[in-house]
Structure 1
Amino acid sequence: MTALSMKLPGLTEGKMNALGGRLKWPFTEKEIIKSLERLRKCAATFQFALTVEGCNVLKQTLDTATKGLQVQLDTSTKVAELAQSIGTMSGIAKEALKMSIQVKEILAFANEMEEISNDVRHLTDDVKVLSTRAQNRHRIEVLDWLSSNKYSERHREVCGKRVQGTGNWLLECGTFQAWIDQCQPALCCTGNPGVGKSVLTSLVIDHLKETFRSSQDVIAYYYFDHQRQDRKPQEALYGSLLRQVVSRQPAIPQAVQNLYETAQQDHTQALLSDLVSTFVATLSDLNRCVIVIDALDECPDRSQRQAILRTLFNIKSSALQIFVTCRPHLPEIDHHFAKATQIAIAANEGDIKVYCRLVLEKHEAGLDHIDEELKEQVVETIANQARGM
């Protein structure tokens, strides 16, 4: 085709030269016959290539297909021009022209398809966003329905009372570490009022969260408080625990979804038995679930405390671990934890010293007349006289 185009003046020269060149036929008879034969072979090859490429184009991306079609269009157009220039190849010229028209139509269609594809892609992205928003709204609705307990706010409030560097004695205690490492079922920490059980509980919660941060293990907790009594303490406890367990799951468990839908249809709140059975069902999907309950003795009614402990200890799940703090010498608690691990909590001498030093530092401006030796004597005296209180 290149050789032919070089001899055709209309394709390679200016208008005046092309006009003069057309008066003289540039090919001999031998060259015409040879060119015709070569064009026939090119046409056959081109048709075969179109068939093969037509199949392959369907497998390519739209951009790649468009580029391939554009090459085919350029080729068929050039074949048509060359055939028309020779004059005697009207059949090949018509076929090449027909192909070029078809390719143009396909290209136009491909462009339309690209626009449609972009629109569909944008619509798909929008649908995904809307679907995610709807799922998030539904998730929040289910969680709020399970419990309105502000457990995280209460936890932050207790953490605010904690002095940095205190309480580590409990985390370093061999009994506590064995409870975690050996997945022992229950640990009860007892102590008199005012020794800092709730503050230690907040430390345990944060320690467990950090320990299991990279795992699928779940930590759920509940602070009883005599100043904030729930009308139905058992429902409040299990609703809050279930909410925390569900919030750690990538999707709402089917058991929880079924419970929610049934309650919505009946316009009722979930029964205690349903909350407990659903909580137990969610444990089957967990490797470990640690339940931390602070100040169980502040649950307002002894029968309620008994029922809570009876239910917890009746749950047959190797995934469940229980950590409880309370006052000592409560019969219902002693009964259930008789065979469980226990730790007695008392004011720790090291923690008292840390706290006293912090107080002295805060009032340093008014104590500048007291030397460091005397300050340390004050700290030692207070720590010695505390006697675990």
Structure 2
Amino acid sequence: MDPLSVTASIIAVLQLSAKVLTYLNDVNAASKDRAKCAVEASNLHSLLFSLRFRLEEGTADTPWYTAIRDLAVEKGPLDQFKQALETLQDGMTDGGLLEKACKTLTWKFKKEEIAGILNRIERLKSLIEIALQMDHFKLSQAIKDDTGFVRTHVPIIQSGVDKIRQDQDSASHRTLLEWISHSDYPTQQSDIIERRQEGTGQWFLDAPEVEKWLSEPKATLFCPGIPGAGKTMVAAIAIDHLLESVHKGSAGVAFVYCNYKAQGEQDVSSMLAAVLKQLVQARPSTKEPVERLHKQHASRGTKPSSEEIFCALRDVLAQYPTAYIVIDALDECRADDGTRFQFLTKLRDLQTTGDLRLMVTSRAILEIVKEFRDALTLEVQASKEDVKRFVAGQIYRLPNCIQRDLALQSKVQGKIVEAVDGMFLLARLHTDSLLDKRTPKEVKLCLDKLSKGSAALDDAYGDALERIKGQLPGDYERAKKVLSWITLAKRPLTTTEICCILAVEPGETELDPENILDIEDLVSVCAGLVVVDPESAVIRLVHYTTQEYFERTAHKWNPTAQQYIASTCLTYLSFTEFKSGSCATDKDFEERLQRSQFLDYAAKNWADHTRAVEGEVLELAGHEQIVKLLLENNANVNAQHGYNGNALQAASLAGHKQIVELLLNNNANVNAQGGLYTNALYAASSKGHTQIGGRSGNALQVASLSGHIQIVKLLLKNNADVNAQGGFHSNALQAASITGNTQMVKLLLDNNANINDYTGKFGHALQAALRHGSELWIKMVQDNIATAVIQLHQDMEELEHTCI
């Protein structure tokens, strides 16, 4: 190796070490190991600089140069140091993924991993120090000794390096999968299967249709069922069985739980991506198609299209000899925009390219049933044996009078099995209906009244609501809030979010930590209609039919629910903590989200909730920031509703000058009619808010009637129509004339008010003035003699005619 090659090797190492030193200084940690690495790498960096310049000064034919070359041989000291630097770099940047995304660097190394790196740095530092002494004999011997050391310890060092890189690969793999899909269906699977009563669902696994599906290439199994039959649990049982079987084979397994609450997130791309994520997660060696998409899109900040995800999924499936995909609750997948049909089409296209076996559960909706007319079909319904097992498993929750009486337990099981008629959900609701029955007589009376047939679910939900209403007032109100939020929320809520939500108090500017409830208390007041999934920490209604029931009956049990939700969102977003504006860094933003658990939901969904009741919420108009938020999100500034008519009238009536100006600047209609005060300017003028101006409209008559001279001047200055018609007194001049306010009349006449307008209850202005004394009449005649005389004759004729 010539001197230039040695110098080039040193320069390459210098460049890498400079980069790593930058990372070490930027890393988000105060670790002593990190500091020691930074110091030692910096010292060696300086020594290498000196060695580089010494090489450039010398000649190539000296023995010292010959010895120096051995530093740069393959797998020699410089290579060892370079490898240590690369390990540090990859560990801090997750293989470069975080670096590209400009994320915060973190320190993830264990002490034993750093010990090997520091040892390697120290060995090279010693060699460089000897090299700088220009003693080629000493340098040659040192390199020889170092080579022997490395030969002995390389397996140990390499093992540590391999472990670090393995961890880095795992972190990179997780980052890649999270990029392709944020879904977490495996967590949902864990939550569902955890609720399985031992032994239930075996009938499904033993069915010949299932056996055929499991063994027949490209088979499709369709599992329809009535609401509450247990379709989701059957899907979970099938998935659990597949996952257990896969451990013994090489098949791929993926699944999607369709959810009415997540329709906005469950489009074709996201569901295909979720399947792709699970298959690559199970077999990392198949990740290349996803890496290709990441390389193509991540640096540009774009997302792959549905077709690109489909192609990647097809390529991954090609690496599996067999794959099973389970889709639960297809009926809850959005249909009106074509999502359901397109998703099914993509899955069938995948079946044509390989051995993909598809299982789908759904309500027996005609258009879905038609899609599976050629598939294996197995109806899902709760077997009597399963219902008995379920009820037996719930006895521990029931009152003592049942727990200590075996005969009564048997009666409970028999009556509930008889009543549910294949509906697992009804078994749960009927069991919950016994929770407050404290004597055998109460239990038996309740069992005798258990509803059956098509109306049974509604009856059960109605009974549950009656139990909720029968609680203490505070618990009843809490239950109403919880049920309203879960029913109307745009996405599933976590337990942390719901506890934070219920702590928000109207009119407050911050959250009081002493007002936060325990999730157990919130669940307990909802009479079994609400459950918590422990793995995902999601709080939800017990079933889709519960959602449908509450949506149908919302006008009865909580007609103001949407307004309450919108107001809660707006109140929260108006908290003092958020007035500082957006966060300066990603770290600050993450910390804010951690502190403010309701912020993510409120910020993303407040506008949707508000649009449903924008009339009521806009009418509040009490906070400028809220109004800005509403307007920025296309709220209807002229929406008519309620006592005050619209937002502009409400703000005018309340005297909010800044809000009125904001509304007017956003095209609020100053002449909009409606509400008690007819329009906004009317409202502002009648209350005497001189700081609130108008631009046109019959507010002048109200100001004139009320004697608010400053408001009239402001309105006229802003081009208000002095002769605008409308309202009880028709126009401003007539209203002023009624009051006998000479100054007001003069002001209006000076601004070209038409004295001859003949409208309204009192005719024209002179007739109105005539009713309230001749002084004003005379003044007006003096100022407008010609017109007044003509009008006087007309008035006298009319008076004579009236007398006759």
**TM-score category, normalised to shorter length:** 0.5 to 0.7
Mapped contact 2:396–2:403 kept (Cα < 8 A): no
Please state how far the C-alpha of 1:325 moved relative to its aligned partner: 0.5
Partner SS for 1:163: coil
Confirm whether residue 319 of structure 1 aligns to residue 352 of structure 2: no
- The two structures, once aligned, show a CA RMSD in angstroms of 2.4
Q: Distance in 2 between matches of 1:314 and 1:379?
A: 47
Select which of 323, 331, 351 maps to 2:386: 351
TM-score (norm 2): 0.33
Between the two proteins, the alignment pairs up a number of residues equal to 282
Select which of 330, 341, 351 maps to 2:376: 341
Describe the superposition over 1:308-332 as per-residue Cα deviations: whole angstroms up to 9, x where unpaired: 111111222332111110110231x
Select which of 145, 151, 159 maps to 2:193: 159
Please state how far the C-alpha of 1:261 moved relative to its aligned partner: 0.6
Q: Distance in 1 between matches of 2:164 and 2:393?
A: 52
Select which of 174, 177, 181 maps to 1:140: 174
Q: Distance in 1 between matches of 2:404 and 2:147?
A: 86
The higher relative CO (CA closer than 8 Å, separation ≥ 6) is in 1
Mapped contact 2:318–2:354 kept (Cα < 8 A): no
Q: Partner of 1:363 in structure 2?
A: 398
Distance 1:232 1:360, change over 3 A: closer
Mapped contact 2:209–2:378 kept (Cα < 8 A): yes
Partner SS for 2:296: helix
Confirm whether residue 298 of structure 1 aligns to residue 332 of structure 2: yes
Please state how far the C-alpha of 1:363 moved relative to its aligned partner: 2.9
Confirm whether residue 176 of structure 1 aligns to residue 213 of structure 2: no
Distance 1:109 1:255, change over 3 A: closer
Q: Distance in 1 between matches of 2:379 and 2:364?
A: 9
Distance 1:110 1:230, change over 3 A: same
Mapped contact 1:139–1:252 kept (Cα < 8 A): no
Please state how far the C-alpha of 1:210 moved relative to its aligned partner: 1.0
Partner SS for 1:162: coil
Q: Partner of 1:382 in structure 2?
A: 416
Distance 1:110 1:183, change over 3 A: same
- Range moving further from structure 2, 333-342 or 226-235: 226-235
Partner SS for 2:390: helix
Q: Partner of 1:34 in structure 2?
A: none
Amino acid aligned to 1:322: L
Partner SS for 1:251: helix
Q: Distance in 1 between matches of 2:199 and 2:314?
A: 37
Please state how far the C-alpha of 1:119 moved relative to its aligned partner: 4.7
Q: Partner of 1:329 in structure 2?
A: 365
Q: Partner of 2:89 in structure 1?
A: none
Mapped contact 2:323–2:357 kept (Cα < 8 A): yes
Amino acid aligned to 1:225: N
Select which of 327, 345, 349 maps to 1:310: 345
Describe the superposition over 1:240-296 as per-residue Cα deviations: whole angstroms up to 9, x where unpaired: 100000011142432222111101233201111100111011111101110011111
Confirm whether residue 192 of structure 1 aligns to residue 203 of structure 2: no
Q: Distance in 2 between matches of 1:134 and 1:167?
A: 41
Amino acid aligned to 2:210: F
Q: Partner of 1:235 in structure 2?
A: 269
Q: Distance in 1 between matches of 2:186 and 2:284?
A: 20
Q: Distance in 1 between matches of 2:275 and 2:319?
A: 15
Q: Distance in 2 between matches of 1:278 and 1:301?
A: 25
Q: What stretches of structure 1 of length at least 5 have no aligned partner?
A: 1-106
Partner SS for 1:357: helix
Partner SS for 1:268: coil
Describe the superposition over 1:133-176 as per-residue Cα deviations: whole angstroms up to 9, x where unpaired: 33222211210011111212211222233211111110111111
Amino acid aligned to 2:236: S
Amino acid aligned to 1:328: A
Mapped contact 1:230–1:236 kept (Cα < 8 A): no
Amino acid aligned to 1:329: I
Q: Partner of 1:246 in structure 2?
A: 280
Partner SS for 2:378: strand
Partner SS for 2:339: helix
Partner SS for 2:253: strand
Largest Rg, 1 or 2? 1
Describe the superposition over 1:40-98 as per-residue Cα deviations: whole angstroms up to 9, x where unpaired: xxxxxxxxxxxxxxxxxxxxxxxxxxxxxxxxxxxxxxxxxxxxxxxxxxxxxxxxxxx
Q: Distance in 2 between matches of 1:382 and 1:280?
A: 47
Distance 1:357 1:121, change over 3 A: closer
Amino acid aligned to 1:354: R
Partner SS for 1:199: helix
Please state how far the C-alpha of 1:366 moved relative to its aligned partner: 2.8
The correspondence of residues 78-93 of structure 1 with structure 2, limited to 5 A, is: none
Mapped contact 1:178–1:184 kept (Cα < 8 A): no
Partner SS for 2:261: coil
Amino acid aligned to 1:323: M
Select which of 194, 197, 203 maps to 2:237: 203
Q: Partner of 2:306 in structure 1?
A: 272
Distance 1:115 1:222, change over 3 A: same
Q: Distance in 2 between matches of 1:311 and 1:277?
A: 10
Please state how far the C-alpha of 1:369 moved relative to its aligned partner: 5.9
The correspondence of residues 67-86 of structure 1 with structure 2, limited to 5 A, is: none
Please state how far the C-alpha of 1:209 moved relative to its aligned partner: 0.8
Please state how far the C-alpha of 1:336 moved relative to its aligned partner: 2.4
Q: Distance in 2 between matches of 1:232 and 1:178?
A: 30
Amino acid aligned to 2:283: Q
Amino acid aligned to 1:349: K
Q: Distance in 2 between matches of 1:381 and 1:125?
A: 65
Mapped contact 2:218–2:355 kept (Cα < 8 A): no
The correspondence of residues 45-64 of structure 1 with structure 2, limited to 5 A, is: none
Describe the superposition over 1:211-257 as per-residue Cα deviations: whole angstroms up to 9, x where unpaired: 22121111101101112333352122111100000011142432222
Q: Distance in 2 between matches of 1:232 and 1:158?
A: 19
Distance 1:108 1:156, change over 3 A: closer
TM-score (norm 1): 0.67
Q: What stretches of structure 2 of length at least 5 have no aligned partner?
A: 1-140, 424-804
Partner SS for 1:344: coil
Q: Distance in 2 between matches of 1:275 and 1:376?
A: 54
Amino acid aligned to 2:219: P
Equivalent pairs: percent with the same residue?
Answer: 23
Q: Partner of 2:289 in structure 1?
A: 255
Please state how far the C-alpha of 1:365 moved relative to its aligned partner: 3.0
Q: Distance in 1 between matches of 2:142 and 2:287?
A: 50
Q: Distance in 2 between matches of 1:160 and 1:207?
A: 14
Q: Partner of 1:118 in structure 2?
A: 152
Q: Distance in 1 between matches of 2:329 and 2:403?
A: 41
Partner SS for 1:388: coil
Q: Distance in 1 between matches of 2:282 and 2:403?
A: 51
Q: Distance in 1 between matches of 2:305 and 2:393?
A: 48
